[in-house]
């Protein structure tokens, strides 16, 4: 069937009359109105108006018959007919039913109440629709009554409908319970620079919260941009930046990220923000990846099997080190519609066969929008199963002792009886972002920011006698303060810019974080190729080695010890890389010695391997290892100790295949301090090993 999508502008004008219409439509409930259906004999005195109304009904029906995805297009036509004849049970029923599947859900009950009052048998599912309308407005008891009324009309053979209604009643029970003990949180629309009258959803946030990439269905005026499956514009991916306390006007990412005649949706983002994962609707729906190169996104490449399958893959999230992924797929063998799967990468970057997370997480219903916190143990996702209060609710599960915990509903007001989905959280944990379709937004589905609040202040009892006349008892009161977001104590954000030390030009560099104690790689990521910026989330309790590599430059080494860190903080480390020239030198901050000894500690292994790799890459390079101490102790002793430590490094390199003629060791004792020796921190910096190029 060929059809033309109803003008959104005309639709908006019609909808704006809704509140005025509602003021009059309720009078049908107050009087003795009777059902007045649209037949010619009922409108002999206004044949012209009747013909016009019938024409509107015909146009509305053309969308109504296409199914629920098209119901919202029918509403303005039906409302035009209802304005002519407000006492039609059928028209009121159709308006109410269509509104349930539109951005006007909260108005549906009024029309359905009128429809049933005019004709109790207006449609077989009228009571079900009214129950849905009550459900969506959190009228839990009214909804349950209408669901029960509808349930009595079903025959034992209608098992699918019976199962659905019973689940909806359970959702009302869940909703009533959850709404009685609301979560302490603020829910705020992110604003009109992102949200429009069209659907916006699936936000992906950079670790520092400065960049949002999301999905929207905004028309571009071309008929080719319309998806015939639902009459709306194809999905496209947009980007916005958080500047000066607000989100910038969104920009369409354009080609090659967004392909024409296809749905293109944000599916996930790498921890460093340099790789974007995209859902393309070609075939059954697969995940692609694109990389940021000189501030341009590369042509998306489809992820290989076993990640993509003959089913649909829709969203994806990664651990900090990029070696574990969780994604959603409706492939064969799952528990329900969409399930969450896990896959791990081997040393060569090949992904293992995905493992279903099991019945503790996945249900017979739909799971979607998976997001892993930087701690690697906390997983958020949305589901139409578990103890949802209706539609998709956001849940949290924690991995502990080899098992995922029972999913916890985040509660009201985060969740509503509508669809609440695609939860993500920047590294600081102060806010989260997600999509919801049942709030006072700009249009259909909008993107919202969640601010989680601290525990409520306890009741405080006054112990000071009152001096006010007539008051003889002490006063108890709840002490309240402004809401404060609760940061996550076990995290830190490391960010900065990598530049050339001489030209100060931003560099494209690779950065590796190593757990020095375990000598294992924690995370590997790249700087922005245009700006040199980087940002990464760190978990406290770890002694980190940081290594930065850039082409034709000496690697940079730093140590960041968060072993005893117990609070959230932000660390800015701008890095100047030394060009690969004679005389260039860099401190080796991850070479460790025991106190007053020259023997290398095992935590030094990673740093030593990086020196070996550099010398293999540049086989004519000659280097000098310089040892330094602080100023405590005798001069001769410090000189001998620093020389011995430098020689220990040289000996290690020799035993691992580096020719002795390329290596020199020197000790400088307490000479050339880089910090004051008056403090422990300064002395720590002065006790160092340096790497210097002596020949090319």
183, two tokens: 């979560």
Q: What is the CATH number of domain 8-180?
A: 1.25.40.10
Distance CA 473, CA 85 (A): 63
Q: What are phi and psi of 603, to 5 degrees?
A: -65, -10
* DSSP secondary structure letter of residue 362: -
In eight-state DSSP terms, residue 603 is G
Cis peptide bond N-terminal to 413, omega within 30: yes
Provide the residue ranges of all domains of the chain, joining segments of one domain with +. Answer: 8-180, 185-198+270-452, 489-579, 580-696
C-alpha closest to that of 380 among 268, 288, 303, 491: 268
What residues are paired with 558 via a beta bridge? 546
Q: What is the pLDDT of residue 191?
A: 93
pLDDT of residue 234: 93
- The torsion angles phi and psi of 568, rounded to 5 degrees, stand at -75, 135
How many C-beta atoms lie closer than 10 Å to residue 342's C-beta? 17
452: Cβ contacts below 8 Å, ≥ 6 apart: 183, 184, 185, 429, 430, 431, 432, 485, 486
CB 218 within 8 A of CB 251: no
E strand or H helix at 134:
helix 126-136
Residue 38, C-beta contacts closer than 8 angstroms, at least 6 positions apart: 50, 53, 54, 57, 81, 85, 88, 90, 91
- Determine the Cα–Cα distance for residues 589 and 674; give it in Å rounded to an integer: 13
Q: Which two tokens stand for residue 230?
A: 């639902």
Are 386 and 170 spatial neighbours (Cβ–Cβ below 8 Å)? no
User: Which two tokens mark 487?
Assistant: 């940061």
The whole-angstrom separation of Cα 646 and Cα 554 is 19
Q: List residues bridging with 533 in a β-sheet.
A: 497
Rounded average pLDDT per 10-residue block, the chain, 696 residues: 41 47 46 82 92 97 96 97 96 98 93 97 97 97 98 96 97 97 93 94 91 93 83 94 93 92 93 89 89 89 90 93 92 94 88 95 97 92 97 96 94 96 88 89 86 64 37 32 46 88 92 86 84 85 89 88 79 91 88 84 88 91 93 92 93 93 93 89 85 90
Backbone angles phi, psi at 91, to 5 degrees: -65, -45
Q: Residue 478: its pLDDT value, please? A: 33
Specify the pLDDT at position 489: 52
Question: What is the helix, strand, coil percentage profile of the chain, to 5?
Answer: 25, 30, 45
Query: Angle at CA 42, nearest 5°, toward 38 and 47?
Result: 85
549: DSSP letter = E
Query: Smallest Cα–Cα separation from 600: which of 640, 554, 643, 652?
Result: 652
Q: Which has the closest alpha carbon to 435: 421, 450, 414?
A: 421
Query: What integer pLDDT is reported at residue 668 of this predicted model?
Result: 94
My answer on whether omega of the bond before 306 falls inside 30° of 0, hence cis, is: yes
Is the CB of residue 158 less than 8 Å from the CB of residue 136? Answer: no
Q: What is the CATH number of domain 489-579?
A: 2.60.40.2190
Query: Which residue matches tokens 């029906």?
Result: 61
Q: Which fold does the domain 580-696 belong to in CATH?
A: 60s Ribosomal Protein L30; Chain: A; (3.30.1330)
**Is it true that domain 185-198+270-452 has CATH number 2.130.10.10?**
no
């Amino acid at each position: 069937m060929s059809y033309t999508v109803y003008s959104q502008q005309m639709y908006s004008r019609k909808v704006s009359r809704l509140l005025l219409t509602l003021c009059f439509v309720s009078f049908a409930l107050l009087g003795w109105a009777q059902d007045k259906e649209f037949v010619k004999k009922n409108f002999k005195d206004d044949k012209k108006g009747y013909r016009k109304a019938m024409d509107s009904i015909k146009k509305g029906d053309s969308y109504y018959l296409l199914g629920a995805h098209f119901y919202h297009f029918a509403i303005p036509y039906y409302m035009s007919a209802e304005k002519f004849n407000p006492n039609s049970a059928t028209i009121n029923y159709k308006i109410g039913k269509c509104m349930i599947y539109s951005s006007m859900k909260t108005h549906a009950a009024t029309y359905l109440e009128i429809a049933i009052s005019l004709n109790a048998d207006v449609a077989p599912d009228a009571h079900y629709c009214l129950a849905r309308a009550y459900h969506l407005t959190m009228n839990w008891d009214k909804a349950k009554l209408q669901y029960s009324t509808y349930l009595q009309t079903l025959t034992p053979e209608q098992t699918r409908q019976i199962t659905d209604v019973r689940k909806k009643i359970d959702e009302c029970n869940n909703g009533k319970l959850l709404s009685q003990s609301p979560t302490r949180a603020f829910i705020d629309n992110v604003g009109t620079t992102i949200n429009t009258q069209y659907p916006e959803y699936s936000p992906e946030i950079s670790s520092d919260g400065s960049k949002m990439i999301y999905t929207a269905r905004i028309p571009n005026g071309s008929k080719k941009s319309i998806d015939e499956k639902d009459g709306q514009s194809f999905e496209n991916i947009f980007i916005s930046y958080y500047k000066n306390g607000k989100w910038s006007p969104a920009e369409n990412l354009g080609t090659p990220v967004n392909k024409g005649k296809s749905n293109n949706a944000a599916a996930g983002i790498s921890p460093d923000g340099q790789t974007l994962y995209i859902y393309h609707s070609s075939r059954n729906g697969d995940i692609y990846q694109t990389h940021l190169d000189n501030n341009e996104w590369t042509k998306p490449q489809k992820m290989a099997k076993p990640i993509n399958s003959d089913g649909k893959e829709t969203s994806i999230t990664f651990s900090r080190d990029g070696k574990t992924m969780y994604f959603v797929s409706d492939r064969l063998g799952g528990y329900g519609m969409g399930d969450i799967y896990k896959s791990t990468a081997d040393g060569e970057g090949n992904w293992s066969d995905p493992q279903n997370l099991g019945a503790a997480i996945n249900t017979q219903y739909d799971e979607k929008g998976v997001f892993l916190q930087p701690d690697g143990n906390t997983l958020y996702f949305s589901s139409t199963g578990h103890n949802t209060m209706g539609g998709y609710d956001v849940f949290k599960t924690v991995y502990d002792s080899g098992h995922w915990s029972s999913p916890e509903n985040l509660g009201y007001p985060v969740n509503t009886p509508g669809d609440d989905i695609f939860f993500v959280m920047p590294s600081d944990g102060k806010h989260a972002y997600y999509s919801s379709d049942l709030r006072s937004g700009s249009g259909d589905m909008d993107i919202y920011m969640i601010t989680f609040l601290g525990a409520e202040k306890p009741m405080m009892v006054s112990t000071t006698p009152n001096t006010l006349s007539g008051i003889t008892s002490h006063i108890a009161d709840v002490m309240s303060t402004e809401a404060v977001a609760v940061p996550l104590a076990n995290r830190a954000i490391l960010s900065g810019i990598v530049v050339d030390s001489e030209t100060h030009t931003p560099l494209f560099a690779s950065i590796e974080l190593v757990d020095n104690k375990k000598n294992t790689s924690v995370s590997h990521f790249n700087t922005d190729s245009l700006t040199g910026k980087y940002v990464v989330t760190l978990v406290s309790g770890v002694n980190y080695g940081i290594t930065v590599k850039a082409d034709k430059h000496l690697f940079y080494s730093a140590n960041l010890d968060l072993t005893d860190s117990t609070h959230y903080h932000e660390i800015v480390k701008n890095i100047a890389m030394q060009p690969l020239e004679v005389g260039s030198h860099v401190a080796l901050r991850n070479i460790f010695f025991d106190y007053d000894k020259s023997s290398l500690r095992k935590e030094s292994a990673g740093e030593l391997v990086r020196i070996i790799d550099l010398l293999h890459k540049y086989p004519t390079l000659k280097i000098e290892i310089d040892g330094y101490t602080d100023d405590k102790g005798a001069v001769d002793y410090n000189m001998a100790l620093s020389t011995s430590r430098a020689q220990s490094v040289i000996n290690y390199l020799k035993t691992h295949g580096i020719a002795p003629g390329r290596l020199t060791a020197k000790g400088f004792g307490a000479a050339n301090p880089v910090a004051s020796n008056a403090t422990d921190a300064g002395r720590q910096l002065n006790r160092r090993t340096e790497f210097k190029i002596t020949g090319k």
